[in-house]
Chains A and B, each alone.
Chain A
């Protein structure tokens, strides 16, 4: 074995070690709870749900079509939903269309009361008492926010609260791209 090959062979463990270090270092900064939705690129599931204010009014998946919008999954038992509520009010005031999906709330009265006291940023609010429609969406906690395009396809799912940082960095660029409606939009 010549000297250089010998030297190369000796460096293999070091190279392996460095590779492993980089790989594990990346793991330190990744968040395992951030799962991308299995629904991305697919049309929203079919559903029929009552309106939260008036349970006789039924909405279907058609309410999620026609323009790009946000679908926000929330409940009064969810502290993070409380934290993001102010910001949703602000987005709604700026003209961003948001539809609410009330997910397994303690009671309808409580949810309506929350909207009456904290403000209602939603164009309309779906009342999913048993979480069956949320299951169709692959929801595993609240809050979750889906970005849906004008054709009713899921484009992105954000888990956790929507705040200024998340909106400006991720959601707004994607959303505005969808509103312009030409090229395929990706994050």
Chain B
């Protein structure tokens, strides 16, 4: 029960925070509304670089929200609005970077790190196993003594 209440609280706060800046908008369908809110929380404000256009109250963020709204209401899909923004402001404007040569490290670095880890561990385990112990004569005698003692006790 507590968990559910916490979740409800967090979701309400998140909705409130994104509505803090966004203007009152009217939509014809619920789908349009959803696309619009997805867009403004996914597009990054180029002026205030660590905020989405929903978070920012910079005039430019408002312009971009207005444009997103107009395009959504004109029947454009989410991808069309994103393409429009990327064509003008670059990949920077979208919080989901496209997979390119320059961004490939975002996808492959974790795999590489895990791969290196596995390699390192197998290497270490293997080298431990291969260590052959050669005992000197004294040690050999001591070992025999110990084994003898162990069988005598039982």
Contacts and interface: CB of A to CB of B under 8 A. Distances in A.
Contacts of B89: 35, 38, 138, 140
A168 interface: no
Contact of B67 (A33, A104, A135, A137): A135
B90 A38 contact: yes
A138 B59 contact: no
Interface size class of A (residues with CB under 8 A): 10 to 19
Contacts of B87: 38
Given A1-B127, A33-B49, A138 B88 contact: yes
Given A35-B46, A35-B90, 15 more contacts: A36-B90, A38-B86, A38-B87, A38-B88, A38-B90, A38-B91, A39-B88, A135-B63, A137-B88, A138-B46, A138-B88, A138-B90, A140-B46, A141-B47, A141-B60
Interface residues of B, number: 16
Interface string A132-157: 00011110110000000000000000
B27 interface: no
Interface in A76-109: 104
B95 interface: no
B122 to A, nearest CB: 14
A32 B49 contact: yes
Contacts of A35: 46, 89-90, 92
A137 B87 CA distance: 9
Most buried by B among A104, A131, A137, A140: A140
Interface in B86-126: 86-92
B49 A104 contact: no
Contact of A140 (B47, B91, B127): B47
A65 interface: no
Interface in A112-169: 131, 135-138, 140-141
B59 to A, nearest CB: 7
A37 interface: yes
Interface in A41-97: none
Nearest to A140: B46
A36 B90 CA distance: 8
B60 A140 contact: yes
Given A1-B127, A141-B47, A135 B88 contact: yes
A40 B57 CA distance: 28
A35 B49 CA distance: 11
Most buried by B among A32, A35, A136, A137: A35
14 contacts: A35-B90, A38-B86, A38-B87, A38-B88, A38-B89, A38-B91, A104-B59, A135-B64, A135-B67, A138-B88, A138-B89, A140-B47, A140-B89, A141-B47
